[in-house]
A and B are shown apart, each in its own frame.
Chain A
Amino acid sequence: MMNSQVNPWFRWNCSVCWVTLGLLLLTILSFWTLDLQLERLFSVDSAKRMGRFLGELLSPDLRAIFLHKLWIASLETLAMSAVGTILAAFFGLLLAIPASKSHPNDPAHWRFLCRLVLNGLRSIPELVWAALVLISAGLGPFAGTLALALHTTGVLGRLFSESIENAPQAAAHALRVQGASESQVFLYATLPTIIPQLMSYTLYRWENNIRAAAILGVVGGGGLGQMLAFHMGLFQMQETSSILIAMILLVVFVDTLSYATRRLMSR
């Protein structure tokens, strides 16, 4: 009786201790095999470079022309995230319908295949999608938007299909016994009951995608990231510093906005 109340970590005949040991071993092995060149990292030379770098970062470029360009790039990042998320919500729903077993007698022939597609889309990160899409869409924000849309379709499609499967069945059942077709049942019974949930998932992903859109440019996908990669490549540290600050502001802005909205909605 006593034993079951003790925190599992302090029981010695348990698997937890072995897991801990395993994780420690993994950590040691990681540091050992990585060849981090720590002596180079903590050398005077590196400290000097770091100091100079930080110093340069503290003097951002604040010329009006540059700030205007920065503003345009920030808007581009926002637009990429918005269009990518809307596309993803549309295609996600399109794939989620065949990917879900909406009632016990639903044969759901396409369920396995659609889930496979959704999982594939989801498991490849936006950045890798961007690098792949670049080949057919070329450099620029369009590639970034497509990459966001592809990854987010996987994420939203899966969440949507779970909402469809977990939706309350009463209204759908009532329509179905009256002889309504499957599409009518979905449009008039299932969709109206789950739409608030779909909206909240989509908004949540949009918040994530704003952050993702800011970095996609690093591989050539447009927006703030592309500007950052460009100026950093030329070692123009003042511009780099302004872009970093703009990114931080964008992320903090989005975080505060979503925090405030959630506060407002839960009140």
Chain B
Amino acid sequence: MGRLFWSIAIIVLLVPALVATEFKPWILLEPDNLKVSSRFLGDFFPPATQPEFLLLVAKEAWRTIAIATAGTFLALLLAIPMTLISTRVLSISSLSGRMHPLPFAVRQMIRWILIIIRSVPELIWALVFVRVVGLGPAAGVLAIGLTYAGMLGKVYTEILESGEQHVAGNLMRNGSSRLQTFFYGVLPQNLTELTSYTVYRWECAIRASAVLGFVGAGGLGQQLDNSMRMFNGGEVATILIVFMLLVGLADLLSAWLRKILQ
């Protein structure tokens, strides 16, 4: 009985979903579409290997890495002060009972800002920034910086609050300032976890910055978009291969870095 109910429920839900997504797989097999797709896919082999094109792709690959790195750095610059303000570990008023209303309100506000800036995907931020600062890598750097500041800020706060808090409490009770407490009581025990998460985010940023080019924010994505518009299968194949290599490399590098930092 339960099985029948669930089967019917799934079908009833799935049909409108299939209609809404205009799910018509047979479109792919129409002769016209089949001809275009097969010609495009046929062009994939051999991949384009003209020296000047390879040089261009290499330059764009470096720009992808640079956008990710600069964006992560910007995110750090934004996330560190927000973490310091919003973490409960460094609250002096909560040492004796409840936190005072004003610091509580400030902490909540920072948390909400972090939620909002990370709720907008980096691609949408990039689309917005392209309108404001114009086409180019600056929009990509700002987009990654903003989204990742939200993520880093949230996770940093969680890491600090999940750690051992006795040392921090003792230091502050004995009169050390918040910054002193942070550097001597909070940072040392959490540093490995914080850096390892940051390196992981940097890896994610490389993957993200590779697609930001689709909205005009520079890097490999922009080159891929250009080649695709010209239906140049060979160039698309080369860029896709470089893209996979780049992502794989970032993956390996980040795993290696995190192992060293342990």
Q: Give B179-220 interface residues, CB cut-off 8 Å to A.
A: 188, 191-192, 207, 210-211, 214-215
B210 shortest CB reach to chain A, Å? 7
Please tell me if A16 contacts chain B, counting CB pairs below 8 Å. yes
Question: Majority SS of interface residues in chain A?
Answer: helix
Contact among A131, A136, A252 with B28 in the assembled complex (CB-CB below 8 Å): A136
Find out whether the CB atom of B260 lies under 8 angstroms from the CB atom of A7. no
Whether A82 contacts B17 by the Cβ 8 Å rule is yes
A218 touches B215 (CB 8 A): yes
Report B12-49 CB contacts with A as 1/0, cut-off 8 Å: 01101110111110011000011011001000000000
The reply to whether A142 and B20 contact each other, CB–CB distance below 8 Å, is: no
B12 to chain A, nearest CB (A): 13
Bound-complex Cα distance A123 to B249 (A): 12
Encode B170-182 as 1/0 by CB contact (under 8 A) with A: 0000000000000
Q: Is the CB of B243 within 8 A of A83?
A: no
Q: Which residues of A contact B63 (CB under 8 A)?
A: 33-34
State whether the Cβ of A251 lies closer than 8 Å to any Cβ in chain B: yes
A82 contacts across to B, CB distance below 8 A: 13-14, 17
How distant is A91 from chain B, measured CB to nearest CB, in Å? 13
The verdict on A185 contacting chain B, using a C-beta distance below 8 Å, is: no
A248 and B116 form a contact (CB under 8 A): yes
CB nearest to A38 among chain B residues: B138
Q: Contacts A76-B20, A128-B243: A215 and B123 contacting too (C-beta < 8 A)?
A: yes
Count, chain B residues at interface, CB 8 A: 65
B133 contacts A27, CB within 8 Å? no
Kindly state whether residue A170 has any CB partner on chain B within 8 Å: no
Which B residues are in CB contact (< 8 Å) with A86?
Answer: 14
Is the beta-carbon distance between B120 and A244 smaller than 8 angstroms? yes
Proximity bits, A227-267, B CB within 8 Å = 1, else 0: 01100100000000000100110011001000000000000
Residues of A near B18 (CB, < 8 A) are 79, 83
> Is there a chain B Cβ closer than 8 Å to A138's Cβ?
yes
Given A7-B188, A40-B133, A79-B21: A34 touches B67 (CB 8 Å cut-off): yes
The closest CB in chain A to the CB of B118 belongs to A251
Restricting to A115-142, which residues have a CB under 8 Å from any CB of B? 120, 123-125, 127-128, 131-132, 135-138, 140-142
Given contacts A123-B247, A144-B21, 4 further A-B contacts (CB under 8 A): A53-B131, A79-B21, A138-B27, A247-B124
The 27 sampled A-B contact pairs (Cβ below 8 Å) are A30-B65, A36-B138, A36-B141, A49-B132, A79-B21, A123-B248, A125-B210, A127-B214, A128-B211, A131-B214, A131-B228, A132-B236, A136-B28, A141-B21, A211-B121, A218-B123, A222-B21, A222-B22, A244-B120, A244-B124, A247-B120, A247-B121, A247-B124, A248-B116, A248-B119, A248-B120, A252-B119
Residues in chain A within 8 A of chain B (CB atoms)? 7-10, 15-16, 19, 26-27, 29-31, 33-38, 40-41, 46, 49-50, 53, 75-76, 78-80, 82-83, 86, 120, 123-125, 127-128, 131-132, 135-138, 140-142, 144-145, 211, 214-215, 218-219, 222, 225, 228-229, 232, 244, 247-248, 251-252, 255
